[in-house]
């Protein structure tokens, strides 16, 4: 089910909800750039565990009104607004890639409702003491984030150029569009349903312009609006050592700086393959499911 949720400041949030309308929810924060698109393998796996699946387009993406100048922390308020509309008292949350910081924002700022959080190939803050932030990254991500650090006027022309490719990308062309951000293990994973999902999410992410992508990048380039040290709910950090979008060191840094975080630093997996082959393990851990 798709619905529109209105915020107190008059913005619209594009939301997808599937599953039982009571009890806990599973809130998914997709990457950068992306928009709310159903991904059947993830939805089915969440419903199998008895949770309601909830995801949304962050402000500026697709049908969600832009919120220029937003911080990573602002995601927690938007999630709370959505859950209030759905009358859902508690939730667990997973953030993938650029969605990772937004899941951590929910853990930090909604501790009375967020029972557990996980990041999957999630990015670390910038700067991060002791972390060589760019080491091991593909050239496109280095260029993109360098421009974000220089400011909006430098970033926007680059995003507009990249958006021209993403606006019409098809499943067979996703790997080529990502260039050297895709490791060999990720290239092998980018087929079938995953490639179809990635292509649709990319197309929708720029369907109304680059405001969402712009504001994600700018939010990553400044303080997130909360301190990782304040997180009190359980957090799991999942990262692969073949990830050229968000290198393994980001996950190791996050796990070392979030109190009590449980690291899962996986050999032989990349940015995309980890979420495919490791999906059951990630969700079982997040949802508190024990399997013999």
Instruction: Please report, for the domain that includes residue 61, its CATH number.
Output: 3.40.50.1820
Residue 160: inside a domain: yes
Pull the structure tokens for residue 48.
């199998």
Residue 203: inside a domain: yes
How many other CB atoms are there within 10 angstroms of residue 204's CB atom? 21
Task: Count the domains in the chain.
Answer: 1
**Contact (Cβ atoms closer than 8 angstroms) between residue 71 and residue 33:** no
Q: How far apart are CA 118 and CA 107, in angstroms?
A: 9
Residue 292: inside a domain: no
**Contact (Cβ atoms closer than 8 angstroms) between residue 272 and residue 242:** no
**pLDDT per residue of the chain (292 residues) written in tens, 0 to 9:** 899 999 999 999 999 999 987 779 999 999 999 999 999 999 999 999 999 999 999 999 999 999 999 999 999 999 999 999 999 999 999 999 999 999 999 999 999 999 999 999 999 999 999 999 999 999 999 999 999 999 999 999 999 999 999 999 999 999 999 999 999 999 999 999 999 999 999 999 999 999 999 999 999 999 999 999 999 999 999 999 999 999 999 999 999 999 999 999 999 999 999 999 999 999 999 987 654 4
Domain ranges, residue 199:
2-287
Residue 176: inside a domain: yes
Residue 129: inside a domain: yes
Residue 55: inside a domain: yes
Contacts of 259 (CB under 8 A, 6+ apart): 229, 231, 232
How many other CB atoms are there within 10 angstroms of residue 154's CB atom? 12
Pull the structure tokens for residue 280.
């059951």
């Amino acid at each position: 089910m798709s619905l529109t949720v209105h915020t107190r400041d008059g913005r619209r949030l594009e939301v997808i909800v599937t599953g039982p309308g009571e009890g806990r929810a599973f809130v998914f924060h997709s990457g950068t750039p992306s928009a709310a698109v159903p991904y059947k393998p993830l939805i089915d796996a969440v419903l199998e565990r008895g949770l309601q699946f909830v995801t949304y387009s962050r402000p500026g993406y697709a049908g969600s009104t832009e919120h220029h100048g937003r911080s990573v922390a602002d995601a927690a308020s938007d999630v709370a607004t959505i859950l209030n509309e759905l009358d859902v008292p508690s939730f667990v949350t997973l953030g993938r890639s650029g969605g990772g910081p937004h899941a951590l924002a929910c853990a930090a700022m909604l501790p009375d409702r967020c029972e557990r959080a996980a990041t999957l190939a999630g990015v670390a803050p910038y700067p991060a003491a002791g972390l060589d932030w760019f080491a091991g990254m593909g050239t496109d991500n280095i260029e993109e984030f360098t421009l974000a650090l220089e400011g909006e006027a430098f970033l926007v022309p680059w995003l507009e150029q990249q958006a021209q490719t993403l606006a019409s990308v098809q499943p067979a062309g996703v790997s080529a569009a990502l260039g050297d951000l895709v490791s060999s293990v990720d290239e092998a994973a980018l087929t079938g349903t995953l490639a179809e999902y990635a292509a649709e999410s990319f197309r929708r992410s720029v369907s109304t312009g680059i405001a969402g992508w712009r504001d994600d990048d700018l939010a990553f380039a400044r303080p997130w609006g909360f301190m990782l040290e304040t997180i009190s709910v359980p957090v799991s950090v999942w990262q692969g050592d073949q990830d050229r979008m968000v290198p393994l060191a980001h996950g190791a840094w996050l796990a070392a700086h979030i109190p009590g975080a449980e690291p899962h630093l996986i050999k032989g997996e990349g940015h995309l393959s980890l979420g495919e082959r490791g999906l059951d393990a990630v969700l079982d851990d997040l949802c508190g499911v024990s399997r013999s």
